Amino acid sequence: MSRVMGPDLEKIIISQEQLENRVQELGKQLTKDYQDKQLIVIGILRGATIFLADLVREIDLQMEIDFMAVSSYGLATKSSGVVRIIKDLESTIAGRDVLIVEDIVDSGLTLKYIVENLQSRKPNSIEICTLLDKPARRVEGIDVKYNGFVIPDEFVVGYGLDYAERYRNLPYIGVLKPEIYTT
């Protein structure tokens, strides 16, 4: 059951059904690629939480799940480029296969910082799985091995993505009207 689009949204660009189908496809691919590996899935809070919850249920392997919380946006609509770790991992990742699960990759600044930070902890491998990729905004080269959807340079919310901590619970991805975030 899909909710009606709220008055703050311009349009829906990815439906609930499209999200469900793509998450299932990614889960099957990850199950295949991580057979016989020591997988630890790291969700980047808070935006990736809904995607991560749905994704790990589609991965048919034993795994560990941990979380990091970083901040580079605050209440802004663009990354400041200054990344702060607000919550670090509780697990040791040395010698393990790390899958970072992110909601959206746009500038690449935050993810570059996270990858460099995690590489210093000597994992066996690090790969990235993102729900959304916004290449038009890319500043840093980031290798995203698992990608849900490539989207245009629009301000999106829903399915975990927010503006000022609102809209995360929408079951689809919608474009926020500019007057909502420019006033």
Here the CATH number for the domain that contains residue 60 is 3.40.50.2020
Strands (E), 2-47: 9-14, 39-45
Say if 167 falls within a structural domain. Answer: no
Query: Residue 38 sits in which domain range?
Result: 19-153
Tally the domains of the chain: 1
Active site residues: 106
Task: Classify residue 23: in a domain, yes or no.
Answer: yes
pTM: 0.91
Is residue 160 a part of any domain in this protein? no
Separation of first and last alpha carbons in the chain = 32
In a domain, 113, yes or no: yes
Residue 177 domain flag:
no
Report if residue 65 sits inside a domain. yes
Tell me, what's the pLDDT at 74? 52
Residue-level pLDDT, tens digit, the chain, 183 residues: 456 677 899 999 999 999 999 999 999 999 999 999 999 999 999 999 999 999 999 999 999 999 999 987 555 555 556 788 999 999 999 999 999 999 999 989 889 999 999 999 999 999 999 999 999 989 888 999 999 999 999 999 999 999 999 999 999 999 999 999 887
- What are 66-75's contacts with CB under 8 Å, separation 24+? 66/40, 66/41, 66/42, 66/90, 66/91, 67/42, 67/43, 68/42, 68/43, 68/44, 68/114, 69/44, 69/45, 70/44, 70/110, 70/113, 70/114, 72/109, 72/110, 72/113, 75/164
User: Does 97 reside within a domain?
Assistant: yes
Q: Note whether residue 132 is domain-resident.
A: yes
